[in-house]
Amino acid sequence: MTQGQCAGSSWIASHRLLVIGVGVAVGDLFPKVTLIGEVGYSAPTFGDFGQSEARFFSVGPGITWAAFDLGRVRARISSAKDQTDAALGAYQSAVLGALEDTEGALLNYGHAQTRREALRVAAGASDKAADLARKRFEGGLIDFLEVLDAERTALSAELLLSQSSSDTATSLVAVYKALGAGWDIPAAHDARTAQR
């Protein structure tokens, strides 16, 4: 289970409790009927205690109702509904924030890929220019300073390409993180780590 799924299921569980709280508060509007029962022995003397005439039982209903306190009951219902609405609003806000994070991470990743591809083309062109400069030097058409300049440009392009590749990988990790992707560490790895 990923972190995002865990947070979502946690919210669902807490929201269910809030909804149950609303139901309990609504239940206070209605009378509660209970059945009360009692079984026992009652004897005037200790010797009569085991006799069948000493046994007794009673059964009766019990009714409770907040008839004179319905204003407070309605206030509790309203409060419970407000708490549920606030929790829903917080969840929606969290989801929108996660969507914004994901969108931003995807855009950054797309830009990083585009930049890496452009730098790959530029690095290839710089390598060809350096090769051409070496051949022209060997043919005596240019001096060695121009060869060094072409190789410096090629190495600079390679450096920019490797930095861009690193940036692209970092932005891909940001996409995974924004999506709530996780990975499980195998139990064998945990055991090796615990032994150290």
Please give the pLDDT value at position 5.
Answer: 46
| pLDDT of amino acid 2 | 45
Q: What is the mean pLDDT of residues 75-91?
A: 85
Q: What is the pLDDT of residues 31-61, one digit of tens each?
A: 788 888 887 777 777 766 667 677 777 888 8
Do 82 and 96 fall into the same domain? yes
Please count the structural domains in the chain.
Answer: 2
Q: In 3D, which of 127, 179, 171 has the Cα closest to residue 4?
A: 179
Q: How far is residue 60 from each of residues 35, 40, 65, 84, measured CA to CA in Å?
A: 6, 15, 17, 38
Q: Give the pLDDT mean for 158-169.
A: 96
83 and 36 within one domain = no
Task: Find the mean pLDDT for residues 74-93.
Answer: 85
CATH (domain of 148): 1.20.1600.10
Tell me, yes or no, whether 118 lies in a domain. yes
Show the DSSP H helices in the chain as ranges.
Answer: 3-27, 70-138, 144-178, 187-195
Find out whether 131 and 72 touch, Cβ atoms under 8 Å: no
Domain, as residue range, for 56:
31-64
Q: 64, 86, 110 — which closes off a domain?
A: 64
Higher pLDDT residue, 71 or 109? 109
Same-domain status, 85 and 158: yes
Question: Residue 190 above 60 pLDDT?
Answer: no
- The answer on 14 and 99 residing in a single domain is yes
CA triplet 90, 6, 181: central angle to 5 degrees? 105
Specify the DSSP element, H or E, that contains 40.
strand 32-41
